[in-house]
Amino acid sequence: MRLAFWHRLSQPHLDTIFLFGDSLTQGGWQPYGFAQKLAYVYARKFDVINRGMSGYNTEWAIPVLEQVLVKKEVRDQYPKARIAIIFFGANDACIQPSPQYVPIPKFKSNLTHIIHRFTSTDSPFYSPETKIILMTPPPINTYQRGAELGARNPPQKLDREFNNTKAYADAVKEVAAAEGTVLVDIWEAVYDKAGRDEKALNKYLSDGLHFTPEGYAIVFDEIIKKISSELPELHHDNLKPVFPPWDQIDHKNPGSLKARTP
């Protein structure tokens, strides 16, 4: 079942960018989302596979990952994930008694485990072709979040704290440094755009937690900048389309069209 499932994720001739995260990733398919924008700029080069799981933390995400990755002994038969973007922390950073809460040491351990499923030769899913990008969660606007939760029926208490979420963003940085992965620091990028003013985050966060179009624009831009600087061979401008442009086709013999080997 796993192999058939992965095969349906992508065109057989296109390798992939694999997105793995919570609602901030799942929401990336919105018309202005970062996943949609990645799919557009990588059209005909890589497929974008979005496995964002709204509400999930790293503890719940690991069993999902185990079911969607292809085992290494058959990976040559299926499209390869050339980039894996891992984007967790917003839910792990919930405060107790939220069931989404994951303590920072366990959060870091879970992130490391997720990375090792791709990078460790001992992993059944070892994929040396995959480059990992680790993303920090964005800052929380507790003014917006508190108002949104308080307006629910029945009203709910604030479930996240500004400085606590910052600690989880810092934890992501520590894991990226320890594992040597590419880091995209969304926390700093968004907070800087807001002038380091929590209340001004409402331009980038719709409810204190999830991105507005302006917020997703930052996410996309930061990812592309890091790919350009640290993974230039995988930048969309440096990749050729799998099938040739129309003006390079042998018009008298279209049956000769062949996919380029990645």
Rounded CA-CA distance 194/238 in Å is: 32
Task: Answer yes or no: 113 catalytic.
Answer: no
**Following DSSP, what letter does each residue of 4-32 receive, concatenated?**
HHHHHHS-TT-EEEEEEESHHHHGGGSTT
For residue 166, give the amino acid letter: K
Rounded CA-CA distance 172/132 in Å is: 13
Identify the active-site residue in 109, 207, 235, 236.
207
The H or E element containing residue 183 is strand 182-184
Rounded CA-CA distance 68/81 in Å is: 12
Task: Answer yes or no: 210 catalytic.
Answer: yes
Beta strands in 34-155 (DSSP E): 46-52, 81-87, 131-135
134: burial class by Cβ within 10 Å (0-12, 13-18, 19+)? buried
Residues 6+ apart with CB under 8 A from 30: 36, 216
Rounded CA-CA distance 212/245 in Å is: 35
> Which residues are tagged catalytic?
23, 207, 210
